[in-house]
Chains A and B, each alone.
Chain A
Amino acid sequence: MRNAEVTPRDPSTALGTPAVVERAGFLTSVQDLGRTGSRQFGVSTSGALDPFALRVANLLVGNDEGAAGLEITLGGLQLRFEDERIIAWCGGEFDVQIGSRALPAGHVAIVKAGDELKFGRPQTGCRCWLAISGGIDVPDVLGSRSTDLRANFGGLEGRMLRDGDQLSLGAFQRSQTAAAEDISSWSGPHDWVSPAKRYPILRFFRGVDWHRFNALTLQHFTGEQFTVSPDSDRMGVRLEGPELKREDETDLISEAVAPGTIQVPPSGKPILLLRDCQTIGGYPKMAHVITVDLGIAAQLRAGDGTRFFEVSLQDAHQLLMERQRDLERFRVGLSLQRT
Chain B
Amino acid sequence: MQRDSSTALGMTESMEIFPLGDSALVVRVREQFEDAPEETLDETLRVFQLLQRAAIPGVIELAPAYTSVAVFFDPVAVLKSGGTAEGAFEEFTTKIRSAIVPASRRHRRRIATRAPRSIEIPVCYDVEFGVDLDRVAEHTKLSEREIIDLHSSGKYRVACIGFVPGFTFLAGLPKNLATPRRGVPRKEITPGSVGIGGAQTGIYPLRSPGGWNLIGRTPLKLFDPVKDPPTLVCPGDRVRFRAISREEFESLKQ
CA distance A317 to B225 in the complex (A): 33
Partner of B70, one of A39, A259, A321: A39
Verify if A134 is at the interface (C-beta below 8 Å from B).
Answer: no
Q: Give the contacts of B81-117 with A (CB-CB under 8 A).
A: 85-86, 89
Verify if A256 is at the interface (C-beta below 8 Å from B).
Answer: yes
Contacts of B160 in A (CB 8 A): 254, 280
Contact between A321 and B79, CB atoms less than 8 A apart = yes
Verify if A12 is at the interface (C-beta below 8 Å from B).
Answer: no
Contact between A317 and B231, CB atoms less than 8 A apart = no
| Binary CB contact string for chain B from 175 to 218 against chain A (1 if under 8 A, 0 otherwise) | 00000000000000000000000000000011010000000000
Verify if A237 is at the interface (C-beta below 8 Å from B).
Answer: no
Contact of A278 with B162 at beta-carbon distance under 8 Å, contacts A256-B65, A258-B23, A321-B79 already known: yes
Partner of A254, one of B28, B61, B66: B66
Contact between B223 and A288, CB atoms less than 8 A apart = no
Can you name the residue of chain A whose Cβ is closest to the Cβ of B85?
A317
Partner of A150, one of B21, B79, B162, B164: B164
The number of residue pairs between A and B whose CB atoms lie closer than 8 Å in the complex comes to: 152
Contact between B223 and A151, CB atoms less than 8 A apart = yes
Contacts of B226 in A (CB 8 A): 141
Contact between B167 and A42, CB atoms less than 8 A apart = yes
Q: What is the size, in residues, of chain A's interface with B at 8 Å between Cβ atoms? A: 46
Contacts of A38 in B (CB 8 A): 61, 165, 230
Q: What is the size, in residues, of chain B's interface with A at 8 Å between Cβ atoms? A: 49
CA distance A44 to B165 in the complex (A): 8
Which residues of A line the B interface, CB within 8 A?
Answer: 36-44, 141-142, 148, 150-154, 205, 207-208, 253-261, 278-281, 285, 288-291, 313-314, 316-318, 320-321, 324
Q: Which 4 pairs of residues, A with B, have the shortest CB-CB distance?
A: A256-B70, A278-B163, A316-B22, A288-B21
> With A41-B166, A42-B165 given, can you name 8 additional A-B contacts, CB distance below 8 Å?
A40-B63, A41-B161, A253-B67, A256-B26, A260-B21, A260-B23, A280-B65, A291-B21
Task: List 18 A-B pairs, Cβ < 8 Å.
Answer: A39-B61, A39-B72, A42-B161, A42-B166, A42-B231, A141-B226, A253-B32, A253-B67, A256-B65, A256-B70, A260-B23, A279-B63, A280-B162, A289-B21, A317-B86, A320-B22, A321-B80, A324-B76
